[in-house]
Amino acid sequence: MIDPLAAIIAYLSSQGDLNTEIDNRLASKHKFSMPESDPDRWENPSKALQVRYAPGAQPDLYTGNGNIRLEALCYGPRQEEAAAVYGELMAICDAFQRATAATEAGTALIYWLLPDSSPEFGYDPDVNMDFVRTYLKTSVARTPVA
């Protein structure tokens, strides 16, 4: 079974312009607070994207699709840089068409990836960085297509 969040992270990871912006710092939980000795730790401050489950989606009771809502936190050393990450994320949503993404559970088929709110600036005191928070909605087939 496909994990819809894993499918979205895999899809976003394959988007060149976004990853040029964030240098592949993309996960469901940010890595700014990991020990400095950990090679997976994200440089702080830097631009990054955290995408995780958020409540509020209407489940698809009939087709087995994973209809989920996501919170996207677009991190940046300053508001301007956080907004640049948000801009790349919105460009992906604007251009999105039915797409596939390779996950550990197989190839996922993503039906849509759309913004579900307007952006909000915030500041994360734990990592001393600005962010733009927005919400996305997506629908992903739980059955792998390959």
Partner 1 sequence: MAETTPYGQIVGVCKIYLAVASTAEPTVNTTPGAAWAEFGATDGEQTIELPGELTFFRDNDHQGPVKAVRPEEDVIVGFTLVNTTHEHLARVLSTISNITTAAGPPAVSRLPLKRGATPTEYALLMKGDFDSPHGQYPGQTYIPRGVFNMSPTMTRAKDARREVECVFTALEDDTQSDANRMGWSTVQTG
> Which positions touch partner 1 (CB under 8 A)?
62-65, 97-100, 109, 111-112, 139, 141, 143, 145
Residue nearer to partner 1 on the CB measure, 2 or 9: 2
Residue nearer to partner 1 on the CB measure, 44 or 100: 100
Grouping H, G, I as helix, E, B as strand and the rest as coil, residue 83 is helix
Residue nearer to partner 1 on the CB measure, 62 or 126: 62
Residue nearer to partner 1 on the CB measure, 26 or 140: 140
**Smallest gap, in angstroms, from Cβ of residue 98 to partner 1?**
4
Gap between the Cα atoms of 9 and 18, Å rounded: 12
Please state, as a whole number, how many other Cβ atoms lie within 10 Å of the Cβ of residue 134. Answer: 20
Cα of 77 vs its chain's centroid, Å? 18
Gap between the Cα atoms of 33 and 49, Å rounded: 14
By CB atoms closer than 10 A (0-12, 13-18, 19+), residue 69 is: middle
